[in-house]
Amino acid sequence: MNFLSISALYAFLAVIGYSDLVFADDDDEILIGCGSAIKLTHVESGGKHYLNSAGMSLGSGSGQQIVTAIPDRTQGSALWIIKESALSKEPCLSGAKLTCGSKIRLTHKTTNRNLHSHPIRSPLSNQQEVSAFGDNGEGDEGDDWIILCKKNSNKYLQRGERIYLQHAGTKKFLGASNQVKFSQSNCGHRCPVLNHLEVFARAKSDQMTEWFIDVGIFLSQ
């Protein structure tokens, strides 16, 4: 499959809502390279919530674009593109292997903003805020995250294996919890993110900060 067809698939899948399409057999060991389009699955919530963003702003804190975890894997708003770090002088090669410890950006496919964090309190749990930031995929070094593989034996990012994403600037870990959810009582009767989990960054790596990737268009050389 050539890279022009991959670009066309990204556009097509965004239109149809991006269902569970994976270019591999379920039993295959699949490496996930740079340029892959992925959905990040959250562990502590039972593997039923996915990192998500939408074209709306946080009502507090930085006021940047909101990032949540949603209980619907079919939504195109849960699709992210893996890119090189903000400080990298060259774009990464499509399909280049990502070693555990690699520094990356995650660009939201629908809005073209980057997963971001900074020392501002999150709205529900008062941990560190996570947002989506930048224009046309261009942001700043607050968009950089480090891939940490839970298994020491793993060398590369691969499908189905648990990982942590550590914010490069603040050293905190991307997380969510089934116990920290937007509701009518904390978000209002017309809450646009009702029943979404708050996504935050926290000081320690634990079950709240475990994620894995099992759905996506995986590029690998």
Residue with token string 């991006």: 18
Q: Is there a contact between 149 and 157 (Cβ–Cβ < 8 Å)?
A: yes
Positive or negative CA dihedral for 44, 48, 51, 52? negative
Q: How many CA within 13 A on the CB side of residue 80?
A: 27
- Give the CA distances from residue 117 to residues 34, 49, 191, in Å, rounded to whole numbers and listed in that order: 21, 20, 23
What is the total residue count of the chain?
Answer: 221
**DSSP class per residue in 173-194:** EEEEEEEEE--HHHH-TT-TTT
Supply the Cα-derived Rg of the chain in whole angstroms. Answer: 16
Residue 9 pLDDT level (bands cut at 50, 70, 90): low
Tell me the sheet residues that pair with 147. 165
Express each pLDDT in 124-159 by its tens digit: 999 999 999 999 888 999 999 999 999 999 999 999
Share of the chain above pLDDT 70, in %: 87
3-state DSSP assignment of residue 91: coil
Closest residue by Cα to residue 157 from 109, 103, 208, 194? 103
The model's pLDDT over 44-58, given as tens digits with 9 standing for 90+, comes to 999 999 999 998 987
Q: How confident is the model at residue 62 (pLDDT cuts 50, 70, 90)?
A: confident
